[in-house]
Amino acid sequence: MDELIARISANVGTDPATAAKAVGLILAFLQKEAPADKVEQLIAAFPGAEAAIAEAKGSGGLLSGLMPGVMGLGSKLMGIGLGMGEITGISKETIAFAREKAGAGPVDEVVNSIPGLSQFV
């Protein structure tokens, strides 16, 4: 996870703590929204994914979970102070990192299984 957070900080300009929260929220979203068999392989190959997901799930706010899908994820990411440019950058870096670790096949299956996600990654 440290490698990804450093990459996000360098390429997107987001501070490491916010980047880590964002990655956790993205991974928790994928775990919740994608078919379990497809996302399981991605999570298993992603160093530190389980801890990031657990932390993201533990930090839900009052409005957490009210808005479903990609829009709900966007709302959560904006809620931690990210703008659209940062959200797009972090999402792309996270998915690229996942492809490096789990392979393009499993990651693309996860992305394609969630309506509207592919336009952001």
Which residue is listed with tokens 């509207």? 116
Predicted confidence at residue 120, as pLDDT, reads 78
Calculate the alpha carbon distances from 10 to 13, 16, 19, 52 in Å: 6, 10, 11, 20
Amino acid at 49: A
pTM comes to: 0.89
Amino acid at 100: E
Predicted confidence at residue 62, as pLDDT, reads 45
Taking the C-alpha atoms of residue 114 and residue 50, their distance in angstroms, rounded to an integer, is: 20
* Residue ranges in the chain whose pLDDT is less than 50: 62-64
Can you list the domains of the chain with their CATH numbers?
A: 2-119 (1.10.490)
Predicted confidence at residue 59, as pLDDT, reads 63
